[in-house]
Chain A
Amino acid sequence: MVETGVSSDLLRWIPALPLLGALVHGVGLGLLRREMPRGLVVAISCGAPIAAFAVTCLALAQILGSAGESRVLVDEVFTWIGAGRVSAEMGFSFDPLAAIMCLIVTGVGSLIHIYSIGYMDDDHRDDGGFQRFFAYLNLFLCAMLLLVLGDNLLVLFLGWEGVGLCSYLLIGFWYGDRWNAYCGMKAFVVNRIGDFGFLVGIFLLLGSLGDAATLNFVELKAALPKIVEQTISVPAWLPGPESWRLTTLIGLCFFLGACGKSAQIPLYTWLPDAMAGPTPVSALIHAATMVTAGVYMVCRMSFLYVEAPGASAVIAWTGAATALFAATMAIAQTDIKKVLAYSTISQLGYMFLAAGCGAYGAAIFHVGTHAFFKALLFLGSGAVIMAMHHEQNIDKMGGLRMRLPVTHGVFLVAVLAIAGFPPFSGFFSKDEILLSAYAADQIPGHQWLWAIGLVTAAITAFYMWRLHFRTFFGDCRADPESQRHIHEVGWVVLGPLVVLAAFSFGAGFLGLPQIYGDWLGVPDSNALANFLHGVLPHPEHEIAHATELGLAGLAIGAATLGTLVAAWMYLWSPAVPARIRAALGGVARLVENKYYVDELYDALIVHPLVAVSDKLLFRVVDAGLIDGLGANGSARAVRGLAAHVFKYGQSGLTQGYLITMVVGTLAIVVWMLR
């Protein structure tokens, strides 16, 4: 074992506490079949993430107080799997990257747990739904913390699968509706495709390292130079060079996993459907934490991607394409949560754009700011949905800013943050990503990446303001009866919103670029970048200050443009959208139907697969061969033989049996004496 940091028994408690919460609920519901009183449920399941957050803060204080190599805490709990040369420890490591992810997961997670108390309060089904919900949430938190704290690929993969499972359970939480159950299944299956790539990546890495095979990140980093020079030949029908670097192939396999978990093209289709789950779930899992697991994994494996320029370029281009593509789809959605879902996909695309350009710090920065403002957006939309009595269509909202002043205020902060207006947090993180794309001259066409990012920023501003104006401005379009019941929700729901709003506003200052720091007279203002310095590789591009400011100005200009167009269309001339829609005709229908990608996948992959599974694998192979011929067939053969042949041996005569026995015994004796 390589000694890689300061040993600390603290770390195991960070994932263990939520696990304990989930276990208590699981034993209570599953084995004792008793539902606890709601107060106790809340105390246990909200206490667990808050305690985990406190432990995380303790660990953070410990590494902030030290420097260099000792900035890492490690905790080897036990040897999980020992198989020959390779062994996987149940081990955790707490370096600055894991620290940031842990803070986000436990911090935002705790807030969402508290919010869920209010949101789930009206769930009065008698199947223990309230407690079950919190059990799943705690289990999710445990899995996510395993994912970010694991010091080797296998623990990461354990968490990776765990969050997938919890995502499935929570999307289909209201399983009484078949559609919700279907959405959960879709998310799970699409994720499995990505997981396949992840697994192949792990196997390739293990196989190619030979004697140095290991799963531990630190050891992998040390062993990587052995395989950097290796190449593999690719089939002739594939475009591009005849041989690929092995690292590129491994990197692409891992990225396929990231595509599934983080909803990138081509595996993004599950995320919009994941909105079938309760809104706190959408906020916690499908916006703030789980979907960033792919970005985290790419950053964690950054030592590999530095040696895999081809894979990095693919990541950057996939991210940029997803960002633009998803943003255009968000324009025409009318479900408040669907808009946010596509916006999440788009923002995840930004993160991968940054990671592909080598700016891993910028990617993690955006993970952090996005966690705050997107959780805020989702929880805010949840507050709107509660106030509107589970109405999610923005065509039936409007004018809510008077009735829901607090919700409106925090939502506005989030919209300003995601649209990228300074000094809200989204501006700084998005600007850093655009800057890194502009400067990433190792990637072919990097100016185009930057341009796509800029256009996406304008579209983002447009659809977010559209959502905001349609929801909170204008006249209320709900029917008069339900209008009378619209009222602000309780403070257990609004409290977390206010806290998140504060962070959505201020989190950007943690990663304040030096040029603004110079203005304000703050030395080393980019605290986040400095914190991550030793862990993540960072780009070494020198950009003139004038260029940097110019780019920032362009980004602000794009955001303003999007805002003005949205204001024009949805505030000042409400007749315009319908006219534009009519003028565009087919294109508008294409966008409204999300480019028919789901239908395409259904026709190309799902339906043929279902047909083959049903007609061939189920009816012919399973029912026909295995059941019919194998299991039932052999049983029927035995029954037939017995009924028509062997039964005549049963004469009923005692002495007939005796003779048979004597003859048989004699035969055995003769055979033995032979």
Chain B
Amino acid sequence: MEIPLEHVIGLSALLFAIGTVGALTRRNLIVILMSIELMLNAANLAFVGFARAWNSVDGHIFVLMVIVVAAAEVAVGLGIVIALFRNRESVNVEDVSLLRW
């Protein structure tokens, strides 16, 4: 059964919105990272949907690219979180606001 493009885009937009709200409202760094991951995958979903609708492989290539970058980003991000936790025994973003005026 053919899934209409509108459904794919709708799901993608929904996921992106959830990710954005999560990243903006939660204070736990790990949850923020997961929210960003959600946004990235929402974008991936849109890419795949469009690629399929227009019979083009460009979207797939972008998706592969995004997955690679996301993996790297998560590695670095979790590394920072672990380093932070070892120093502060906390993963709350509001506890790390030292770099300001």
For B97, the closest partner residue in chain A by CB is: A652
B100 touches A655 (CB 8 A): no
- Given the known interface contacts A659-B24, A662-B20, A662-B24, the answer about A654 and B96 at a Cβ–Cβ threshold of 8 Å is yes
Beyond A658-B24, A659-B24, A662-B20, whether A652 also contacts B93 by CB under 8 A is no
Per-residue CB proximity of B12-35 to A under 8 Å, as 1/0? 000000001001100000001000
Decide yes or no whether B3 CB sits under 8 A from chain A. no
Q: Is A650 an interface residue (CB 8 A)?
A: yes
Contact of A651 among B24, B96, B97 (CB under 8 A): B97
Contact A658 B100 (CB under 8 A): no
Task: Flag whether A648 is at the interface (Cβ < 8 A).
Answer: yes
Q: Is the beta-carbon distance between B24 and A653 smaller than 8 angstroms? A: no
Judging by beta carbons under 8 Å apart, are B24 and A655 in contact? yes
B68 within 8 A of A: no
User: Interface residues of A toward B: which range?
Assistant: 10 to 19
Size category of the B interface is: 10 to 19
Q: Which residues of B contact A85 (CB under 8 A)?
A: none
Is B98 at the interface (CB under 8 A from chain A)? yes
Q: Is the CB of A650 within 8 A of B24?
A: no
Which residues on A are within 8 Å of B, measured CB to CB?
647-648, 650-655, 658-659, 662
Which B residues contact A (CB, under 8 angstroms)?
Answer: 20, 23-24, 32, 93-94, 96-101
What's the nearest-Cβ distance from chain B to residue A428, in Å?
A: 91
Q: Shortest Cβ distance from A453 into chain B, in angstroms?
A: 86
- Chain B residues with CB under 8 A of A651: 97, 100
Tell me whether A650 and B101 are in contact (CB under 8 A).
yes
* Nearest CB of B to A657, in Å: 10
Q: Which residues of B contact A655 (CB under 8 A)?
A: 23-24, 93
Q: Is there an interface contact between B20 and A653, defined as CB atoms closer than 8 Å?
A: no
Residues of A within 8 A of B97 (CB): 651-654
The closest CB in chain B to the CB of A666 belongs to: B20
A-B contact list, 8 entries, CB within 8 Å = A650-B100, A650-B101, A653-B93, A653-B97, A653-B100, A655-B93, A659-B24, A662-B24
Q: Provide the residues of chain A in CB contact with B96, threshold 8 Å.
A: 654
For B99, list chain A residues within 8 Å (CB): 650, 652
With a CB–CB cut-off of 8 A, which chain B residues contact A659? 24
**Interchain CB contact under 8 A, B101 and A654:** no
Contact assessment for B100 and A652 in the assembled complex, using a CB-CB cutoff below 8 Å: yes
- Complex Cα spacing A662 to B35, Å: 14
Q: How far is the CB of A201 from chain B (nearest CB, A)?
A: 65
- Decide: A654 near B98, CB < 8 A? Known: A659-B24, A662-B20, A662-B24: no
Q: Nearest Cβ in chain A — how far from B13, in angstroms?
A: 13
Interchain CA distance A662-B39 in the complex, whole Å? 12
Q: Quick one: closest B residue to A656, CB to CB?
A: B97
Bound together, the chains give a CA A651 to CA B98 distance in angstroms of 9
- Knowing that A652-B99, A652-B100, A654-B97 touch, tell me 15 more A-B residue pairs with CB under 8 angstroms: A647-B101, A650-B99, A650-B101, A651-B97, A651-B100, A652-B98, A653-B94, A653-B97, A653-B100, A655-B23, A655-B24, A655-B93, A659-B24, A662-B20, A662-B24
